[in-house]
Amino acid sequence: MLSTINTEGGFGNVTPQEARFLKTQEDNFINSRASLLRKNNNIDTSLYDKYNVKIGLRNKNGTGVCVGLTRVSDVHGYETDEQGNKIPAPGKLLYRGISVENIVNACISENRFGYEETSYLLLFGKLPTEYELNDYKKILGARRELPKGFARDTILGSPSRSVMNQLAKEVLALYSYDNKPDDISAENVFRQSIQLISYFPSLLAYSYQAKRSHFDNQSLHLHYPSSELSTAENILRLIRPTGEYTDIEAKLLDIAMILHAEHGGGNNSTFTTHLVSSTGTDTYSAIAAAIGSLKGPKHGGANLAVIYMMQDLKENVTDITDFKQVENYLRKVIKGEANDGSGLIYGLGHAVYTLSDPRAQLLKRMARRLAEENGLMDEFMLYDFIENTGSRIFSEMTGSDVVLPANVDLYSGFVYHALNIPLDLATPIFAAARISGWCAHRIEELTGSNRIMRPAYKCIADDQPYIPIAKR
């Protein structure tokens, strides 16, 4: 009897014996041509200078190539002199011209949630009045629950080992539940944006629960979202088996989401949103593309790199309060003898920020509060030591004079650990925060620009004659 074989890549309805044979053939074919792939896709890096190509859309001094204009946010990490050289400066992050530090400080001093206010600000370009904010919260709340049958058919019925890949699939699937999916008018895109922002807590939570149940043989815990709760509260309610959380836990996650909601038009996932939106495609395709970008370990997945590094540190350091041991570990990391061999201390350094990442400092304040309440001060001081010592050690060992400030991933790693957020959800929660920024940039691209993006690539392949197959 034929059966569907769940093999790597899959071969449809074949017998186990046939599947093994096909898999062997495929492996042999791929392995025998791997060197050819590398040879014919390799590019001599000196050619980038020869043709004045901005590799990675970066200038020689490391600054990004300016390819667009935006009103949504500003990421300020350095000054430039008349020669175009970077001059280090304290980091600033502005949402619609308003310092994110002021937004977070207001939420802390007034002891309230702020992600929804931030979302409104990013979308509309102004701070809401109390009446406008309450209306916005009500609209988000009314949309928290997924379309009827969606969780059963799309999420539980077809789980994935990767929650991020599952999220992308689910966002694309929502296209089929929309009566006007291809309408790119500002009104319709705004409606779609509200729905996606509202849905994300349920999407990521159910995707995670489906993954745990199907692939990890764990119990399935499903809760309904609450229309009365904030985005951060709903996430904690939905991902935890009991649905319980403390006020400080929810408010810490809320601040983390505010700080991850937006970061300029040039970060990879937001640029992807602009790029894809410039084609005039639908909202679901644009946001799914952004999710795919964010998943990458060089982008949104960087928070996982911090968490994995800290796990490795604890496995190789007998006492995390013995900072001499910790320093020795960091030296091994830089030499490529510890962790993943990359030579990088994850959580330090940033592509834009040169002296300080304002998000890291703000998150650190709330993280300390949670550490004090939950008896995690030893853990917190470990992160603090890495922040204050890592850059110095790196300079001593490499001779570099570049400052490596703590970036947001360092303390978000601690926050996720302190909140007992599973590793599978670290980047999806980032996506749940950034969805407001993506939607704001998509609306900006559709209304403020009317030209498809079309950058150029210089072809360096030599001309070759076509040889008939019989003569090859």
Query: Which residues are part of the catalytic machinery?
Result: 299, 350, 409
- Sequence letter at residue 283: T
Bridge partners for 425 per DSSP: none
Burial tier of 5 (Cβ tally within 10 Å: 0-12, 13-18, 19+): middle
Q: Are 236 and 403 in contact (CB under 8 A)?
A: no
DSSP 163-200: HHHHHHHHHHHGGGG-SSTT--SHHHHHHHHHHHHHHH
d(CA 428, CA 164): 6
The C-alpha R_g of the chain, in whole angstroms, comes to 24
Q: What sign does the CA torsion over 157, 198, 361, 121 have?
A: positive
Q: Three-class SS of residue 265?
A: coil
Closest CA to 404 of 466, 355, 335, 366: 355
Distance CA 267, CA 237 (A): 30
Task: List, as one string, the DSSP characters of 70-135.
Answer: -SSEEEEEEEE-TT--EEEEEEEEEETTEEHHHHHHHHHHTT---HHHHHHHHHHSSPPPHHHHHH
- Burial environment of residue 142 by CB neighbours within 10 A (0 to 12, 13 to 18, 19 or more): exposed
Q: How, if at all, do strands 3-4 and 86-95 pair?
A: unpaired
User: What does the alpha-carbon distance between residue 7 and residue 435 come to, in Å, rounded to a whole number?
Assistant: 34
User: Is the distance from CB of 341 to CB of 80 less than 8 angstroms?
Assistant: no
Up-side HSE of residue 11: CA atoms within 13 Å toward CB?
Answer: 18
Alpha helices in 221-267 (DSSP H): 231-239, 247-260
The two structure tokens encoding residue 207: 């995707």
Cβ(215)–Cβ(159) below 8 Å: yes
